[in-house]
Amino acid sequence: MRALLLFLAVLVAAPAGAAAQASDTPRVLFAPGGTVPVRLRRTVSRLLSSNAVLVSYEDYVRACNEAGVRPSSARAVRRVGTQQNATVIVVGSYGGHYRRRMLRLRYYSGSSGELMTSGNYALRGQHLRPSSQHAILRDLATVTGGAPPPAQASAASEEPSSEAEGEGGDLPPPLDWEAQ
């Protein structure tokens, strides 16, 4: 009888634990600017979704169109983005010349729409460099209040800048999104 009661107690507690873990996962809205290539949009979305739950960009664009604002503008983030139930709103832009292409991400608070931080990430064509992938994940962990994954935690204390272009040191191998 005791074993049965213990089993039932474990069963009842398990979904609550899973729900608590799911609620700890940050919710991120990624709003790429019009100049960001489609391939890079997909790559950044997949990278962000590896550590967070993505909020629907289509719903955000629909709400921006109703409000008459451009989705990648700061006004849209403050007026519409704060209503999308996201922890962080990441707005991306793309630029540079020839081989010096850069991806700029601005991280806004999902509740107030205030700019929290921004980062410039080096690209190789339309592909994220391995160091840029790790820097984006580190910056996302920083703005959401979570700690970076253990392999990145030691490197985060050694590399304060998100514009690092060197190899990752003791970081895990980069994510290869093109193979998927």
Domain membership of residue 110 as a residue range: 26-179
Mean pLDDT estimate for the chain? 78
Does residue 10 lie within any of the structural domains?
no
Residue in 10, 21, 78, 50 with CA at minimum distance from that of residue 174: 50
pLDDT in tens, 92-139: 999 887 778 899 999 999 999 999 999 999 998 888 999 999 999 999
Is residue 74 predicted with pLDDT exceeding 60? yes
Residue predicted with more confidence, 54 or 147: 54
Does residue 7 lie within any of the structural domains?
no
Does residue 19 lie within any of the structural domains?
no
pLDDT in tens, 23-48: 578 999 999 988 899 999 999 999 99
Does residue 17 lie within any of the structural domains?
no
Does residue 3 lie within any of the structural domains?
no
Does residue 153 lie within any of the structural domains?
yes
- CA 75: distance to chain centroid? 20
* Confidence class for position 1, pLDDT limits 50, 70, 90: low
Q: Residue 117: which CATH number?
A: 3.40.50.10610
Does residue 107 lie within any of the structural domains?
yes
pTM as predicted: 0.70
Q: What is the pLDDT of residue 124?
A: 87
Does residue 39 lie within any of the structural domains?
yes
Number of domains in the chain: 1
